[in-house]
Structure 1
């Protein structure tokens, strides 16, 4: 197959999300300025234009970003699609610790954020760089986003991008795995987002509740 045939096949198979026409024009203008030999110019322009527009669409379209994030990192969490996942999960686990928020902040090395509408948590646990807070049916973990991830999440369907918090909703039960590959437990629906160098995992059954609580966490 020659280059012309390869480019045609690529064009037929590529699924490109909608892109702003002004962005497309800007990309084509940049491509036109690329110095190449005359006999290859048209072929390379077509190839580079298609590739740049595709990449631009991937960068700008939230649903596509969600698909890409299924195998990338979200703060201190890495998401790994590995096929079908668990069909059920136990109730959201409580937090048995009874630390004060002040003590948790000293141990963790940062001040934990709280969902405003939930008030004082019923349970508080902390370790260096990590805090877990619990209410009835809600568990909020927060930890420093470091060079290495803290958790892997495995076995789930497609992630859903949540623009309100620039995070991702894991809507189905999934394995929660520490970086040393120990399975911690099967986790239920969870919202994951990152803010100011801290990763948040808010585990609760209802997506709307999770988004509202996350938006009000400070």
Structure 2
């Protein structure tokens, strides 16, 4: 039996159905609606209807992403943040040493020549005390009242890639569209052969992406202070 034959039989059954009377005439209205011939929609009308429904669903999802930062933080648990990949683990280190001082004595121009891009210096920190660079990456460090502050910036598709193995929920930092790793965590490199090489334990770190570069700011335990430094780098 085809769909049209089934529809015709259902309409015929509706015409003969015995329905007890109701006060608001609902049954009559339903039976009249069943008796009406079906509305035949063209293929183009069906496609347009489904397309409108899809657009409405996408609008709802987009609105949810814009107004619900915790959702975006949850997504970051299994997506890359530029050149940094965040991997949740069950447990992690309870403490971390200061970040290492950048090993080089390069000028900013020398670092740019070696890295292949012009590094950004946060206005809030000023001229770095130490600068090191390799192809696609620049590391800077400052000696502050809080201790050593280290900023790494590298092309978003860095290979090998950094992996942060963290064990607490990430916190989305909307002002720089980044993420705050509030606890000590394993810092690992995924090399070109796909092998994970442990680098060190890193302390609280702010990670964000700006103009095709990934930034790691480490050495500050206060998220507000780290965020202010990040803002001074991108504005």
TM-score by structure 1 length?
A: 0.74
Q: What residue number does 2:155 align with?
A: 144
The alpha carbon displacement at 1:83 in A equals 1.3
Q: CA RMSD in A?
A: 2.6
Structure 1 residues 90 and 147, CA, compared in 2 at 3 Å: closer, same or farther? Answer: closer
Query: Matches of 2:227 and 2:116 in 1, distance apart?
Result: 26
Note the residue ranges of structure 2 that are not aligned, 5 or more in a row.
1-46
The alpha carbon displacement at 1:76 in A equals 0.5
Alpha-carbon contact 2:151-2:216 (below 8 Å) kept = yes
Structure 2 residue 217 is the aligned partner of structure 1 residue 172: no
Question: Which has more radius of gyration?
Answer: 2
Query: Matches of 1:102 and 1:113 in 2, distance apart?
Result: 11
Q: How does 1:1-218 map to 2 (within 5 A)?
A: 33-34=49-50, 55-56=61-62, 59-60=65-66, 61-136=68-143, 137-146=148-157, 150-180=161-191, 181-203=196-218, 204-218=220-234
Matched residue count? 178
The alpha carbon displacement at 1:82 in A equals 1.3
Q: What residue number does 2:39 align with?
A: none
Alpha-carbon contact 2:86-2:166 (below 8 Å) kept = no
Note the residue ranges of structure 1 that are not aligned, 5 or more in a row.
1-30, 36-44
Query: Matches of 1:59 and 1:149 in 2, distance apart?
Result: 30
Query: Matches of 2:88 and 2:62 in 1, distance apart?
Result: 24
Q: What residue number does 1:21 align with?
A: none
Query: Matches of 1:169 and 1:55 in 2, distance apart?
Result: 24
| SS of equivalent to 2:124 | helix
The alpha carbon displacement at 1:129 in A equals 0.4
Deviations 1:133-184 (A, max 9, x none): 0002210000011276721110320000001100000000001111121010
| SS of equivalent to 1:131 | strand
The alpha carbon displacement at 1:52 in A equals 6.0
| SS of equivalent to 1:116 | coil
Deviations 1:20-61 (A, max 9, x none): xxxxxxxxxxx99239xxxxxxxxx9xx89x76874465332
| SS of equivalent to 1:65 | helix
